[in-house]
Structure 1
Amino acid sequence: MEVLWEKEVDASSIVVSPRPVWKCRLCPMYGKRPSCPPYAPDWREAKEWVGSFKKALIVKFSINMKDFEEEKRKVLLWLLKREAELFREGKLYAMALFPGNCNLCDDCPFERGQACRMPEKVRPSVDAVGIELSSLVDIDFSESVLYGVIMVE
């Protein structure tokens, strides 16, 4: 995993709609992880939440697709670390959004109806809250990348 870039954007440029949430319904992880619908905040609530921010960071990560789950886990941990750094810098409401479902645990107890082992670390996925990533970046499906979002202030 490598951070390719980190870009600050105006939060007002973030499009939030039901379209990404409907795409989530096609995912085999739908309803299985606490970062996914129906457990993530509704897109309407997320739209209001995003609207309360002025700035956000978009982060592009290069990953090795041969080791996808481990690479994605590194991305999630990097986003959580960056969120904590921003908090320490005085950005009290900084909050990361994951690229896709949470995979912090190798074996997710939530999938089996048990409590999440790390509820303090789980963040909703970008799509689960209705953020249209394509409104922020040009997506090239030939790239082996993931995008994370951190709402800042």
Structure 2
Amino acid sequence: MPSTDIKPEEFDFLVKKAMELEAIDAKIIPTYNVFVEKRVVLKCRGCIGYGKKLTCPPHVPTVDEFREILKEYSYAMLVKFRSPAVADEEIAKAPYKTWLDPAEPVETREKAAKFWEEYFDYSKKMAFAMLELEKTAFNEGFTFAVAFVNGSCRLCEKCNVEKGICIHSNMARIPEHAVGINMKKTAAESGMPLEFPIKGQPEPMSILFID
């Protein structure tokens, strides 16, 4: 059962740490404001990485399993970052992998390749920041703190999924959407809305569960 004697202000040290790690915003929210929906994982099924990473479906807890896990936490922290990647309107609305489509103009492919390279590079930095926040919470006695990340794991060029053993299990974390977390709705209900489609620099968000 989650702790009932913890007050949100007890996690102010985590908000401060998030800002030190270059987050642009961070907020403690009750876990009843974290929205989990089965439809979210449908987006995973349409991803080219589906089943190819141990941190993605079907290798992670199901939506129903995660709902039960969520009941054991009282609080979460939303952490918003700002990527250095910049998307103009054309790239923001273009499908992922545009840079591989020979039917697209060369200029569009080059812009898309640059955007996604910068975005994915920054996503690794975000993941390490979330691990640091998880460790910070752990060291303050919140031993069941666990971070989720924005986007699929990029620690390895090719995941060890065939052998079923993650070679970086101490660092690899599950993407929020992989267990059904509707980050768009969660962020909006918490006063930290995410903007779609992207305009300029993306502001991806991750979540840390603490108790």
Fold agreement, TM-score > 0.5: yes
Identify unmatched segments of 5+ residues in structure 2: 1-20, 86-114, 188-192
Question: Structure 2 CA distance, aligned partners of 1:120 and 1:108?
Answer: 17
Runs of 4+, deviation exceeding 3 Å: none
The CA distance in 2 between the partners of 1:27 and 1:64, in whole Å, is 24
Counterpart position of 1:130:
180
- The 3-state SS of whatever aligns with 1:8 is strand
The two structures have a TM-score, normalised by structure 2, of 0.67
Q: 2:48 aligns with which of 10, 13, 28?
A: 28
The reply on whether 1:140 has 2:195 as its aligned counterpart is yes
Indicate which of 61, 66, 76 corresponds to 2:81.
Answer: 61
Report whether the alignment pairs 1:7 with 2:27.
Answer: yes
Aligned equivalents of 1:25 and 1:44: distance in 2? Answer: 17
Shift of the alpha carbon at 1:44?
0.4
| 1:117 pairs with 2:137 | no
Seq. identity, %: 27
Q: Secondary structure at the match of 1:63?
A: coil
1:136 Cα deviation after fit: 1.6
SS in 2 for 1:7: strand
Quick check: which one's helix share is greater? 2
More strand by share: 1
Larger radius of gyration: 2
Q: Is the 8 A contact 1:2 1:63 kept in 2?
A: no
Structure 1 unaligned spans of 5+:
none
CA RMSD of aligned residues (A): 1.6
Number of equivalent positions: 151
Match of 2:139 in 1: 88
